[in-house]
Amino acid sequence: MSDFLKHRQLPIFDILFQHFKDDSTRYEAKLALLIGMNPLMNKNLATTFMKIIETVLNESANNSIFRNNINPLRVGLMLYRVIDEVEANYHYSENST
């Protein structure tokens, strides 16, 4: 993991964030990846992620992440965990969005 920390720009976050924006399926797997990569994030990436989640949660019911996943309760709980960790680790204000 120390090799990852030496890089200034990790394209994995750009790709993962694009998938968060464009595809409302398989959110459980995407959130699990993000939980694992949380130590590699910085404050700018955390802010970008929170802005993406804000737009995703404002989608209509037909394109909701809760409707397009097998276990919507697990997706909701994992999303809550990720948001809580981002707020705690990167001091992201809950009033920013």
Domain ranges of the chain: 24-97
Instruction: Indicate the pLDDT class of residue 20, thresholds 50, 70 and 90.
Output: very high
CA distance 63 to 96: 24
Instruction: Indicate the pLDDT class of residue 97, thresholds 50, 70 and 90.
Output: low
Q: What is the pLDDT of residue 11?
A: 82
In tens, the pLDDT along 34-57 reads: 999 998 888 999 999 999 999 999
In 3D, which of 50, 28, 46 has the Cα closest to residue 37?
46
CA distance 41 to 60: 29
CB 65 within 8 A of CB 20: no
| pLDDT tops 70 at residue 30 | yes
Tokens 């995407």 belong to which residue?
A: 30
Q: What is the pLDDT of residue 63?
A: 86
Mean pLDDT (the chain, rounded) = 87
In tens, the pLDDT along 65-88 reads: 999 899 999 999 999 999 999 999
Q: Give the number of other Cβ atoms within 10 Å of residue 27's Cβ.
A: 24
